[in-house]
Amino acid sequence: MSTRTRSSQQGVAIVVVLIFMLALSVIAAFSARSSSVGERISRNMLDQQVARQAAEAALRDAERDLLLPTGAMQTNALCQRDEARPVVASLPLFLSNCTAGQCQFQAAYYDAADYSTATSASSTGEPWWPVSKGGLWNNDWNTKPSREKGAVNCTTFTGGVPLGVFTGAPPVAGVSRQPEYLVELLRKGDHYVFRITSRGFGYSPSTQVVLQSYFRPFY
């Protein structure tokens, strides 16, 4: 075999090896990207589940709140409901600014609600909507009682009630913020029911889950 033929064969071998290495690099990069995407999806799903469980805890906490008796402070609670309980005797304390997480509105307020045009300045809507749509959660956490802030503004704060403020329920571990709830008094004549809305947060404050239930305590 001539020198020229051997050199030509060696040149082709180098090209084949380079193409093979390029193909392996592309496959490795694709596999790494797929693994990274799968990890992000799993992490997001886990975060969503954590937020949902936190919201569930807040729903149950709101029910306990509505069933509180009048009188002594609950163990580990930051604030006391005082004259706001028992709730059936204190329905007038449900106000339009959602003081201490208790809301009440006339039917016209809901009838005028329009989510498509609502803004943070809207004067009608649903209190559980996002604050950017006129919701009444009150995202100024410094104005609310909490394990970090202590028993601040117990009877005057507005918006959502952080978990355990009135019931003494233990905090949820590992979340960016403690879940909270709003309680709306819905009335039709002499009949009433409470609509509870809770929102839970995941490891990230941008991960939120909102849940609702209807509850009527019997005494």
- Across residues 109-113, what is the average pLDDT? 94
Report how far residue 58's alpha carbon sits from residue 215's, in angstroms, rounded to the nearest whole number. 13
138 touches 157 (CB < 8 A): yes
- Statement: residue 32 has pLDDT above 70: no
Report how far residue 161's alpha carbon sits from residue 174's, in angstroms, rounded to the nearest whole number. 19
Q: What's the pLDDT at 26?
A: 74
Give me the residue label for tokens 């592309």.
Answer: 26
Report how far residue 79's alpha carbon sits from residue 76's, in angstroms, rounded to the nearest whole number. 9
- Statement: residue 207 has pLDDT above 60: yes
Report the number of secondary-structure helices (H) and strands (E) in the chain.
Answer: 2, 5
- Across residues 184-201, what is the average pLDDT? 94
- Across residues 194-213, what is the average pLDDT? 96
Identify the CA nearest to 199 among candidates 123, 115, 130, 118: 130
Q: What is the pTM of this model?
A: 0.81
Whether the CA torsion 213, 154, 168, 216 is positive or negative: it is negative
pLDDT band at 53 (very low <50, low <70, confident <90, very high): very high
147 touches 209 (CB < 8 A): no
- Statement: residue 156 has pLDDT above 90: yes
Query: Percent of the chain beyond pLDDT 70?
Result: 88
pLDDT band at 71 (very low <50, low <70, confident <90, very high): confident
- Across residues 77-102, what is the average pLDDT? 94
- Across residues 142-147, what is the average pLDDT? 94
